[in-house]
A = this chain, B = another copy of it.
Amino acid sequence: MTETKIIQATESVFRENDRLAKKLRQKFAQSGVLALNLVSSPGSGKTTILERTAADLKAELKMGVVEGDQQTSRDAERIAKTGISSIQINTMSGCHLDAAMIAKAVDHFDLEDLDVLFIENVGNLVCPAAFDLGEDYRVLTLSVTEGEDKPIKYPNMFMSSHVVLINKIDLCSVLGFQMDECLGYVRRINPATKVFELSARSGEGMENWYQWLREEVKVKKSGKNREGTEE
C-alpha cells in the first residue's frame, strides 16, 4: 500500500517537473543558450572537466555554470576561480537536481549574454536519470577508474544520455582498463550516443569535446537545433 502511495506521488512530481522543464527548454531556445546537464557518479571528474573547459574556451564562448551538490559550495568556488560565473545549489538530503531548482538558479544569469549553460548535477548514476532539466543534451561522464561495466549496470542513465565523456584515460594503462569492452557496453545500451575519450588532467582528447561544443553552440544560435525546430 505504501508502495502504491509513493508511486502516485512520484508520478505527480514527474508531471510537475516535466512542465517546468518544458518552460526552461523554451527559455533556453529563446535565448539561444546551449544547456547541458552533466551527470555522473561522485568523483568522476565533472568539475575538473568544467574547470579546464572554462579556462581553455573562455576567450571564445560565454559560459555559465550551475553547480549541484548535497552540501558545500566547493565546486562553485572552483569554477569561479576560472573567471566564469557560477551558482551553487545545495540539495541537502536530495539526490538529484530538478527543474524547479534550475528555474530559480537561471534567474541569476543573463541568459541573453550566455552561449552555454553547464548544469553539474549531484554525483549519482541513478536518480538524476529521471529528472529532465530542460537541457539540450545530457552529458554523462564515466571515469575509467569506475570499471568497464557501468553502462550495463546503470542502463537508465546511459540510455538517457546523448554524450558520454570517458574521463581519466591517462590512467587506462595503470588500471588495465579495457576501452573496447567499455565502448561495447555503451553501444549496447545506447547505440546513438556520442563518445569522447579524454583526460581533463592531461588535456588529452579535450579538443574533440571542445569541437563538439563549438558546433552545438553554432547550431543553437542559428535556431536550427532540435528544440528550435519543435517549437
How many copies of this chain? 2
Partner of A72 from the list B5, B122, B124, B152 (CB cut-off 8 Å) is: B152
A130 to B10, CA, bound (A): 17
Confirm or deny: A153 has a beta carbon within 8 angstroms of a beta carbon on chain B: yes
- Which of B9, B94, B143, B154 contacts A70 (CB under 8 A)? B154
Contact A42 B125, beta carbon cutoff 8 Å: yes
Q: Is A123 within 8 A of B122, CB to CB?
A: no
A154–B149 alpha-carbon span in the complex (Å)? 24
CB pairs A–B below 8 angstroms (16 shown): A2-B16, A5-B8, A6-B10, A6-B13, A9-B9, A42-B125, A42-B146, A43-B143, A69-B153, A70-B156, A71-B155, A72-B149, A74-B149, A95-B124, A123-B154, A145-B171
Q: Which residues of A contact B (CB under 8 A)?
A: 2-3, 5-6, 8-10, 12-13, 16, 41-43, 69-72, 74, 93-95, 122-127, 130, 143, 145-147, 149-150, 152-156, 168, 171, 174
